[in-house]
Amino acid sequence: MNIISAIWASFFCCYVERGSLSFSARSQCDSCNRVLRWFELVPVLSWVMLRGRCRTCRSRIPFRFWLAEVFAFCFPFALPLVFLSLQDWKYRYIYSWQLVFLLFLGLPAHFPYALPVLFLRCGLADRLIIVYLSMILPLAAFPPFLLVASVSGILYILLTKTRKLPFIPFITLAYILVMYFS
């Protein structure tokens, strides 16, 4: 889990640096374009062994790459934030849709509860609000909140046979219920 998270982080580094992603292309040095060997691609360790420089052209490998890999290795649950941080660090800009990544922050802890929400295929705004509420709600209140919001939403769909659910009212309902009873 930790190693996979660190590999993802080094993947994100390349993606953010080049602004594009290719699964097939071999990893190469951004300065001299030399294709990197396997031992130069080990997350966390390679940067230390190479002392933060390319083996051939000696150009610097940004310290934030190493930092991102270390953070991702130690805190896999924060991987989406590591990605957003890399992007923000480089461009001082993140797209609003990328905030959806934050939804996955809650998944490891609340996975079974978050699942119905994903099935609802709710809109971007709905998901953003859920993300926001997941941050301000106490941790123990978040699972019941998601459960009430999604179950009431699903019930509404089943009862009215509507195709487009206005989900925010159900989010609000769940939020008020959870806050009232907790």
Question: Judged by CB, which is closer to Zn ion: 37, or 121?
Answer: 37
Residue burial 110-124, b: 16+ Cβ < 10 Å; e: rest: beebbeebeebebee
Which of these ranges, 22-30, 102-110, 112-120, 169-177, lies near Zn ion under the rule CB under 5 A? 22-30
* Residues 49-88 as x/- pattern, contact with Zn ion by CB under 5 A: -----x--x-------------------------------
- The residues with which 60 forms a beta bridge, in sequence order, are 53
- 29 makes contact with Zn ion (CB under 5 A): yes
Of the pair 66, 113, the CB lying nearest Zn ion is at: 66
Taking residue 140's Cβ as centre, other Cβ atoms within 10 Å add up to: 10
The smaller minimum CB distance to Zn ion, of residues 33 and 160, is found at 33
What span, in angstroms and rounded, lies between the C-alpha atoms of 62 and 174?
A: 45
According to the 3-state scheme, what is the secondary structure of 150-162?
HHHHHHHHHHHCC
3-state secondary structure of 50: coil
CA triplet 33, 37, 43: central angle to 5 degrees?
A: 100
Among 2, 22, 31, 162, binds Zn ion (CB under 5 A): 31
In whole angstroms, how close is the CB of 169 to Zn ion at the nearest point? 56
Question: Shortest gap between Cβ of 30 and Zn ion (angstroms)?
Answer: 7
- Contact criterion met (CB below 8 Å) for 75 and 102: no
Q: x-or-dash pattern for Zn ion, window 32-51, by CB under 5 A?
A: x-------------------
User: How many Cβ atoms sit within 10 Å of the Cβ of residue 133?
Assistant: 21
Indicate whether 22 belongs to the interface with Zn ion (CB under 5 A).
no
Q: How far is the CB of 38 from Zn ion (least distance, A)?
A: 16
Residues of this chain that interact with Zn ion (CB under 5 A) are 29, 31-32, 54, 57
